Structure 1
Amino acid sequence: MNLSRNFPHQLALLLVALQTDKLPICQQLADPTEKSLIAVLITFLDSKNYRTPITISRKTLGNMIRVKRSTLFSKLRQLKDKGMIEETNGELPIRLTVAAVKLLRCEPGTEAPAAASAEAGDKFFRVGKYSLPRQAIPLLNSGLNEQQIVLLLNEAKKAGTTLQTVLASHAEVISRYDGDSLFFIVRDLIRHPGKYRRSPAMPARAPHNARADARTQAIVAVAESHAASLLLPGEKLQRSRTGWDISLPQVSGGAPSPLGDSHIVMLEQRMRTLCERQQQSQPWQMRSGEQQWHWDGSLRHGQPLISNACGQRQRVSWAWLYQRLPDAAKWWDGTRPSSRMQGRRLTVRGIDYLVELICNGLAALQIQNGQSAGRIIQLPVEKLYAPEVAWQP
């Protein structure tokens, strides 16, 4: 919150009375530091409401009274214990209590102008020349200025709603952003409320046949074990109380939603695309039981049909075939995943590594633990596709 552009005469009188120990509140202050702290808080008040939430950062407040951060928080706790201010954990706005407002009196029997109506203006507070709803305080603390909040208030009015309603309905989405990004997200929430709405839970329905259930379970199991390569950045597959949830950045702002048939089809289609791409570029051999099998692109009822040297043919699922792809072919983006590997951590035989750089087919790895911690080793990128490599989330 910025200092009032038109500093009111009444607050100036309060500061003079405070410095000359003529206010009842002075008897509650233990030392000059507490008095300086109260004086700074007074400069940010509204003459019509002495309980205005004060949203300046703790760092700025400490600089203004010239004390260390630890000293500032100690004094704030002492004022809170004395009943002068409300809870001030972290960067919460500072707010004088009703008891403190009653002690801000220039003469006996003369109460501060806003004491009688302190609670009346409780729902709004002033920032500069604007009167803003109290629910907008988190927006100020997250980097928005008063002009941006006024623009959002006008947007909400045009949309036939209120900014307070939007903030309450989408608190989970809003908490992920700050600064200008937060402004555009809130504006988009006002203009397109359905875009970020959670997907409704899938309605209960009759159970599938055993074959369909087995197919779904196989696809989900393979997708979970190969999430690093099969899912795109921002996508997440996780267990829930009722089954599985999936998070997609383009749906509900990335909020988890129940895994449905459309998601199963999407995951299976990715597996199929990768298998067909590899078969067209370089067919591969796979082992099942004691025999070697290969796939020539044949299908039966939409599923791959593999063959062995004896001429036997067998239908398998796309999940089964995807698991037996060469490791370098399992990445969904269809390219060598060098850029996605860089900056990630991996573990091989109990040793942790950080991928610092990938260039010209070589990977530079920094050892993270053990006696060789800090050393840099180089190896071909192909080595990162080996089965013993465990990528960390």
Structure 2
Amino acid sequence: MKHRLTRRALLGRAAATTAATIVAAPAAAEPARDRAFRDAALYVPGYYPQNGWANGRPLRQHRQFSRHIRDWDGPARMLTRIGPDGSIRQTLLPVHAHDVDISPDRSVGVLCGFEGRTHVAFDPQTLELAAVAASVGDGWRGGGHAAYLGEDKVLLSERAPRAPLNGPLERHFGKVTIREAATLKTLETYSTYGVDPHEIQLIEGGRYLVAANYGSLPDLKSRELTVPRQVIDASITVVDMRDGSLVDKYRTGASDIELRHLASGRLDRIFAIQARLGDDEAVRAVERGVDEAYPFDITTDPGANYLPAATLRYDAKKKRATRMGGRNETALMRHGLSIIYDERNDEAIATYPTAHRVMAFDGASGAVTAVVDTSRMGLRYPCGIALLPDGAHYAVTGYWENLFVFERRTHRLVRELCQYPVFFGHSHISVG
């Protein structure tokens, strides 16, 4: 196993239970849990650490949690590590993070900044800060997602300076930066050939990069993003990693639906999540039949409501896109968020927090194979999703709290493997 972290991070690893983190007493190890998680840990970046307290004090006043935060007017995110034995380790890191990824050899992790100017690398064992790096240029913003190219390089999605459409569309295309995994030093950049790239994935042995590009731009007069969004060029792009050339681009053609996340196993197995925002009047039309009282969607902001938007299956070999699911399933596809591809069972599995649903899709046809109402199980707003290393289970995390485990293929809840930590709001998770 290679370790190329900074001296500061290596010292942090030697003192794993000291100032960088707070460690809960490990839960009693269960054989089933050992089999499900093996020696892997699960990582969750939390959005609202200002709501957290420890030892009777807000986290910002707690030296152990906040030691890496120099400027409280700047970004700060909670990072939670759930060990294979159920132990909890948490700390704050200076980044406006959205996704977390761990290198294949588990020597380093990255929190990719989202709509922010910085990204950070950290030690996956101690959560000690290893490196802080800026986005690729002045005005450029983090795209929120990363992907590892082997053990020593990491790819980050990056967005061009935000501006209304004025001139060639290519001015708004984002980039993928290829960086040293340990230091986040930029080595090379490629265009994603799309507007505001978000999730990126490497497929077919790292030969191709697949990117989900939001495609939305600010209003020309207000220079702000609108509700509904002004979508110019929502797209899936495929880039050849040998030379950065564009292999394929699929444009949805939608004027108010962003293309945000994707999962892919190969060129003919690309699954893409779309998201559509509407105002309060629009959401009333969607929810007029819900008679029981329910809370406001905590995963969004007032006045910006998630409406149904179909999840897509795209075959880049045949250049063909299909909507997955019928009318009833599409009605539940609100705020599609995390999506993974289970190659063993040839299924894509996605979360829809606004509707409290997890859905599975057949890889070959795109047909819906399962619809799980997680709220009936005690998991509201399912957000993060990740395959577990035993090859038999996957984990789903609730926006604010709780981690539930399901069987692959059957999608049966495995209650004895569930855990109940607090995450303080999140979108995605990673296992490493």
Do both proteins adopt the same fold according to a TM-score greater than 0.5, normalized to the shorter chain? no
Tell me: higher relative CO, structure 1 or 2? Use CA pairs within 8 A at least 6 residues apart.
2
Q: Rg: which structure is higher? A: 1
Higher percent of residues as strand: 2
| TM value normalised by structure 1 | 0.25
Higher percent of residues as helix: 1
